[in-house]
């Protein structure tokens, strides 16, 4: 059994993930071993091998390849002529220099855009024109305003169409050499850049899956990559929809937790109100008891007062005070739970922890 086969078997037995720990040269060999296992041809076609450093050492994972990467993509046909251009393409045709491209590549770029928009609109997406006549400067070409957009499931994907540049060594002219000798701050450029016939599509917006840029390469033209770009738009829309549904579900669960916290806060508020009422009754009883003792002491003293107006007034006061004490004493009425008033937001705040009484 080869080393790669041993590694794959170990991964299968461990459920697809192992962490190689230790130190020194033995641990440092694992990135190269994982790379060798990838080249061995032993990895199942539906799996891929990942490796990377983690806190415990070097982590190796054997994971399923996403289904979208295994899907057979239908090629996107590119028209040979623009007989019925899309409105987005027409907006570009109305510019003197569409997308800021040179004349030799304009026609091809518009046909590529026509094919891509047609394919994505057939899939249910929509498109709109952007800055159709602009070309970003080289130092910010990936941060410029989009040339057009495609929207799918609420996710807008922005597109820039860029013309690649060919670089050649710069041959300094006699004038440049003389100027550089005269002014020390002048620098003769090392390279010259000229527009090529190669194009590049730059995508932004949404969650990338395959990539964010596609370009002509010696072995593969953009025509052959349009199906991947169209799929990328769909994947970003699906990811946005999943994220939207996840956010809705998270908000629902958060509201459920908030409503449960509010209900618990109301229960705690009611209990706290009953406790305060109970304690207030105890305070009122003690207060009434002390007043009753005082009234009894006054009554005993008044008995020694000779009959007359003074005693009459004193007895009248005693009758009033005794009645008052009787009303103040909570024991003179049957005990009952108090009616709980409707709580205000600030009444519930002490029982809500990190929640707001106004909403989740």
Rounded-to-integer distance, Cα 124 and Cα 154, Å = 12
Give the model's pLDDT for residue 139. 59
User: Which tokens belong to 75?
Assistant: 């090629």
Q: Which is more confident, 148 or 143?
A: 148
Q: Which is more confident, 305 or 61?
A: 61
Give the model's pLDDT for residue 268. 96
Rounded-to-integer distance, Cα 86 and Cα 105, Å = 18
Radius of gyration of the chain (CA): 42
Report the SS3 class of residue 194: strand
- Kindly state the greatest CA–CA separation across the chain: 138
Region 50-71 average pLDDT: 92
| pLDDT of 277 higher than 90 | yes
Contact 198, 163 (CB under 8 A): yes
Indicate the pairing of strand 17-20 with strand 191-204: unpaired
pLDDT band at 138; cut points 50, 70, 90:
low
Residues constituting the chain: 360
User: Which tokens belong to 257?
Assistant: 């937790």
pLDDT band at 142; cut points 50, 70, 90:
confident
Contact 214, 229 (CB under 8 A): yes
pLDDT in tens, 331-356: 888 889 999 999 999 999 999 999 99
Report the SS3 class of residue 189: coil
Domain ranges of the chain: 3-65, 87-239, 254-351
Mean pLDDT of the chain: 92
pLDDT band at 231; cut points 50, 70, 90:
very high
pLDDT in tens, 176-216: 888 888 888 888 888 888 889 999 999 999 999 999 999 99
Region 60-72 average pLDDT: 92
Closest CA to 11 of 59, 56, 81, 76: 59
pTM exceeds 0.85:
no
Instruction: List helix spans (H) across the chain.
Output: 3-13, 25-28, 30-39, 67-70, 87-93, 103-122, 174-182, 222-302, 309-328, 345-348
Contact 331, 285 (CB under 8 A): yes
| pLDDT of 136 higher than 70 | no
Rounded-to-integer distance, Cα 259 and Cα 220, Å = 57
| pLDDT of 157 higher than 90 | yes
Give the model's pLDDT for residue 351. 95
| pLDDT of 294 higher than 90 | yes
Count of other CB atoms within 10 angstroms of residue 176: 15
Rounded-to-integer distance, Cα 360 and Cα 344, Å = 17
Give the model's pLDDT for residue 137. 67
CA 241 to centroid of chain Cα atoms:
13
Region 131-143 average pLDDT: 72
pLDDT in tens, 3-51: 888 888 999 999 999 999 888 888 889 999 999 999 988 898 899 999 9
Give the model's pLDDT for residue 5. 87
Contact 311, 302 (CB under 8 A): yes
* Vertex 73: Cα angle to 69 and 77 (nearest 5): 145
Which helix (H) or strand (E) is 169 found in, with range?
strand 155-169
């Amino acid at each position: 059994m080869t080393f790669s086969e041993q590694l794959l078997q170990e991964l299968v037995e461990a459920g697809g993930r192992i962490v190689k720990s230790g130190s020194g040269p033995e641990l440092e060999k694992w990135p190269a071993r994982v790379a060798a296992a990838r080249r061995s041809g032993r990895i199942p076609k539906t799996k891929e091998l990942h490796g990377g450093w983690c806190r415990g050492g070097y982590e190796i994972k054997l994971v399923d390849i996403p289904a979208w990467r295994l899907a057979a993509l239908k090629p996107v046909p590119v028209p040979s002529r623009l007989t019925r251009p899309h409105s987005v393409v027409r907006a570009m045709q109305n510019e003197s220099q569409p997308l800021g491209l040179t004349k030799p590549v304009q026609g091809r770029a518009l046909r590529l855009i026509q094919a891509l928009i047609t394919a994505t609109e057939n899939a249910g997406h929509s498109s709109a024109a952007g800055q159709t006549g602009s070309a970003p400067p080289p130092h910010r070409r990936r941060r410029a305003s989009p040339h057009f957009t495609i929207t799918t499931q609420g996710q807008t994907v922005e597109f820039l169409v860029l013309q690649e540049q060919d670089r050649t060594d710069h041959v300094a002219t006699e004038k440049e050499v003389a100027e550089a000798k005269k002014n020390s701050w002048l620098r003769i450029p090392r390279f010259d850049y000229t527009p090529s016939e190669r194009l590049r599509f730059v995508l932004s917006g949404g969650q990338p899956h395959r990539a964010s840029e596609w370009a002509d390469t010696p072995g593969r033209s953009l025509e052959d990559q349009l199906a991947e770009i169209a799929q990328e738009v769909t994947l970003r829309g699906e990811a946005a929809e999943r994220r939207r549904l996840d956010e809705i579900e998270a908000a629902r669960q958060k509201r459920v937790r908030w409503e449960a916290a509010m209900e618990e806060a109301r229960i705690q508020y009611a209990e706290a109100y009953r406790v305060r009422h109970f304690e207030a009754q105890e305070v009122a009883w003690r207060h009434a008891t002390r007043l009753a003792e005082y009234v009894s002491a006054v009554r005993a003293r008044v008995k020694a007062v000779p009959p007359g107006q003074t005693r009459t007034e004193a007895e009248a006061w005693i009758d009033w005070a005794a009645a008052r004490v009787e009303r103040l004493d909570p024991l003179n009425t049957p005990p009952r739970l108090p009616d709980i008033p409707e709580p205000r937001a600030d009444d519930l705040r002490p029982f809500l922890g990190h929640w707001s009484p106004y909403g989740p």
